Amino acid sequence: MKNSTQALHFGAGNIGRGFIGKLLADAGIAVTFADVNDTVVNALKEKKQYTVDVVGEKSEQCLVTGVDALHSITDDVPAKIATVDMITTAVGPTVLKMVAPAIAIGIVLRQEQGNKTPLNIIACENMVRGSSQLKEMVLAELSKSQQAYVARYVGFVDSAVDRIVPPTENSASDPLRVTVETFSEWIVDQTQFCGEIPNIPGMELTDQLLAFVERKLFTLNTGHATTAYLGMLKGYATIAEAINDHDIEQSVRNTMAESGEVLIRRFGFDTQQHANYINKIIQRFRNPHLHDEIVRVGRQPIRKLGADDRLIKPLAGTLEYNVANDNLVRAIAAAFLYENNDDEQAVEVQNIIRQQGIDSAVSRFTSLTQNSRPCQSIVQSYQQLQAA
């Protein structure tokens, strides 16, 4: 059933269509996608619908209807922003800054048109406080009077998102069709909304978002990356193949247990409930219906090795609480052995290792002090993995 809410979603890729866009459309919200992919945008404009294959224990085909699309560059995206009630994104952390100027222009149009309807903006990205970071990018484009308008009428709502959405095999015949796993989690900070909070089934509200953001980052993201980097070392092509290797599975479990100990101490998570959460993630990795390629999960290693991302941040937590981290160290070391000539970041990492040595590379990409104990532990583990 349709309602009067309108949403603009930046990013019509697999995550945009298969996760956030689907949830919005299922809630009866009129969704318009904004993207630079001509093929996808034109198909959405023409068909106004697409199919999502939900795969797992309860597989089903879902038809998402009543959608539209704009080309991010050639169509008038700011004009759309001036009229919608929600903006969501699934463009990737590195692209988020590119949509900020369009959002700023759209907000200026809202103000000029006297639109006082609350606008809520939710960045659904694999990053901590993505909406807050987007807010700073948008505010930088605005004058003080325009910033005052934002403070009164625009909410930037941080969120945590979790759903595995691999590339779809039949995309050549149907560019809109997308495959997703059964599990999904979209948790938003209920304290940051402007005006009434929309009723969207599948969008969970919390006033303790950071705990769930870090739970996902330290568990799903940490485990996913660990599986990919260890799996590549053994020549596996997919996450399912890698996690079905007993030694890799045990390493991944141990890694998530180490990062989980940080969560338990920091947020008071129940030990058994978190162990159950880890088991659920392992089963998600095993999903035989998801052809989730290791090169996809391991891509952009520089970002994944960042101080606030899925490997180094939990490592910092283990140092803070003085708990075990041998498996985390090994996962980080494996990331420095990740090679993919089609990935600019992977190429850059390998070039730095060749030119400056592994010690310098570890310090450069992790922000750890070169002669520190954790940095040296990573280097030693790297050398052991390389020799093996």
Confidence grade of residue 169 (pLDDT, cut at 50, 70, 90): low
CATH of domain 211-387: 1.10.1040.10
End-to-end CA distance of the chain: 58
pLDDT, position 291: 84
**DSSP letter at 208?**
-
Q: What is the pLDDT of residue 1?
A: 42
Tokens read off for 89: 């994104």
Q: Is the pLDDT of residue 3 over 70?
A: no
21 assigned to a ligand binding site: no
Annotated binding residue 13 = yes
168-182, 190-204, 205-219, 222-236: the lowest-pLDDT one = 168-182
What pLDDT does residue 290 have? 85
Instruction: With a cut of 80, say whether residue 47 has pLDDT above it.
Output: yes
Beta bridge partners of 119: 154
Please report which confidence band the pLDDT of residue 165 belongs to, taking 50, 70 and 90 as the band edges.
confident
How far apart, in whole angstroms, are the C-alpha atoms of residue 353 and residue 74?
42
Confirm whether residue 81 is marked as ligand binding: no
Q: Which residues contact 272 (CB under 8 A, 6 or more apart)?
A: none
Residues 98-150 have pLDDT tens digits of 999 999 999 999 999 999 999 999 999 988 899 999 999 999 999 999 999 99
pLDDT band at 168 (very low <50, low <70, confident <90, very high): low
Q: Is 17 annotated for ligand binding?
A: yes
Segments of the chain assigned to CATH 1.10.1040.10: 211-387
Please state, in angstroms and rounded to a whole number, the distance separating the CA atoms of residues 151 and 274. Answer: 37
Residue for token pair 């625009």: 154
Give residue-wise pLDDT tens across range 250-278.
Answer: 999 999 999 999 999 999 999 999 999 99
Q: Is 298 annotated as a binding residue?
A: no
Please tell me the distance from the alpha carbon of residue 32 to that of residue 183, in angstroms, as a whole number.
24
Which pLDDT score, from 0 to 100, does residue 171 have?
60
Find the mean pLDDT for residues 290-303.
93
Is residue 11 annotated as involved in ligand binding?
A: yes
Summarize the confidence of residues 199-227 as an average pLDDT. Answer: 95
66 is an annotated ligand-binding site residue: no
Q: Is 246 annotated as a binding residue?
A: no
Fold classification of 6-207 is Rossmann fold (3.40.50)
44 marked among binding-site residues: no
Q: Is 195 annotated as a binding residue?
A: no
310 carries a ligand binding annotation:
no
The phi-psi region of residue 28 (left if phi > 0; otherwise alpha if psi is between -120 and 50; otherwise beta) is left
DSSP category for residue 238: B
The percent of residues in the chain predicted with pLDDT above 70, rounded, is 98
16 is in an annotated binding site: yes
Q: According to DSSP H, which parts of the chain are helical?
A: 14-15, 21-26, 38-47, 77-81, 93-112, 130-139, 144-153, 209-216, 222-233, 239-243, 246-267, 271-286, 294-298, 301-304, 312-321, 326-335, 344-356, 358-366, 373-387
**Which tokens hold the place of 124?**
């659904």
Over range 328-353, report the average pLDDT.
98
Length of the chain counted residue by residue: 388
Residue type, 294: I
The confidence score (pLDDT) of residue 380 equals 98
- Give per-residue burial for 200-215: e unless 16+ CB within 10 Å, then b: beebeebeebebbbbb
Give span(s): CATH 3.40.50.720, the chain: 6-207
